[in-house]
Amino acid sequence: MLYQLHEMHRAMMSPLAAFTDVGTKLFSHPASPLAYTPMARQLAAGYELVHRLGKKYEKPEWQLPFTEINGKSVAVNEEVVHHLPFCNLVYFKRDLPEKIRRNDPKLLVVAPMSGHHATLLRDTVRALLPNHEVYVTDWIDARMVPAADGTFHLNDYVRYVQEFVRLLAPDLHVMSVCQPTVPVLAAISLMASEKDPCMPRSMVMMGGPIDPRCSPTQVNRLATNKPFDWFEEKLIHTVPANYPGAGRRVYPGFLQHAGFISMNADRHVKAHYDFYLDLLRGDDEDAEAHRRFYNEYNAVLDMSADFYLDTIRMVFQDFALPNGTWEVDGKIVKPADIKNVALFTIEGELDDISGEGQTRAAHDLCKGIPAKRKKHYTAPECGHYGIFSGRRWRTTICPQIAEFIRQA
């Protein structure tokens, strides 16, 4: 019922969003006479603020048409090279001769399925493109997947990763950001146990809950303080009839978004007030930065209920990976079986989602990897998003990843 009420609220807000969008343009567009009236700037700013608070945010485009290589602009084309019911594997093909492209490392970036679209990693991909052949897992909104396509569990995520790795092998490197560090480590561990010939050369793990018992954060404590049944009763709802996935049980994106906002409510209120002031001052650069950030941040997707509940139970309550109790298709996940894959873990000093030591725990689990093929970096004064986007990512972290991959 909550999902249906949300859709009704959206429908009621649509006229207001459309009205305020028109109002913004009437009082700001150079061709409009109203843009030159005494209160035009204040009215335009107020209209736009209300419009952005009430509008529906769709999945953003990647918007990566070019990259710069050796000072020259090179076109980039997005290609879906493999499709599964819950994921598209997207290849960012650079317009270069095949011989040159083959000389760059092949990198699979496993994006999180944690409420936001894979485009949240736009800055990540942008920085990697000049020196890598980049493939990204673009997860599909569960409400858009017909119920006839079946369910999606955490173990299915592991199988998807294995399928992508085998498709792109050999000479593949795998990079996981946040939540997927756990299923990616599981996928590669199982492949190692089976002595799979398609093993990747390296794995880069960034800000993920490999062992959430290390430096628990607010997110970790929520998962442990509430009983498992609470998550199913309070957070799981059914997709309404106006979507292709009608009838599918999901953790709705709008509930996830409410959780994101509540974690830093004061910061978001201040950001919107500052946006209003930027519009009044005519500070277009800061205003545009606000638009770009919230166009991404407010665009959320539904997660399969089975996947979400599996993650709560197995990752955050049972600690199945570090405890050695995780089983996929009757086989125990054993990270210690990994021997010939280089490991690089990255954490942010100020990460309030995956605490200090949670990602580094992979080093203790992967006992079979020689010490000389392991590396760890803690980014100083860096939060969760800062390790894969922003200035520190571009100038410090990405160059270290590029160097590590080429040496692997």
* pLDDT tens profile 166-182: 999 999 999 999 999 99
Three-class SS of 45-107 = HHHHHHHHHHCCCCCCCCCCCEEEECCEEEEEEEEEEEEECCEEEEEEEECCCHHHHHHCCEE
Give me the mean pLDDT over the 321-329 stretch.
97
Parallel/antiparallel/unpaired status of strands 172-177 and 202-206 = parallel
Domain boundaries, the chain: 2-56+253-297, 66-224+303-407
Structural fold of domain 66-224+303-407: Rossmann fold (3.40.50)
Phi/psi zone of residue 250: left (φ > 0), alpha (ψ -120 to 50 degrees), beta?
Answer: beta
Nearest CA among 378, 375, 372, 349 for reference residue 363: 375
pLDDT above 90: residue 238: yes
| CB-CB contact of 48 with 291 (8 Å) | no
pLDDT of 355 reads 93
| CB-CB contact of 282 with 41 (8 Å) | yes
Give phi and psi for 354, each to the nearest 5: -115, 110
pLDDT above 80: residue 263: no
Q: What tokens does 391 get?
A: 């200035």
- Predicted structure pTM score: 0.93
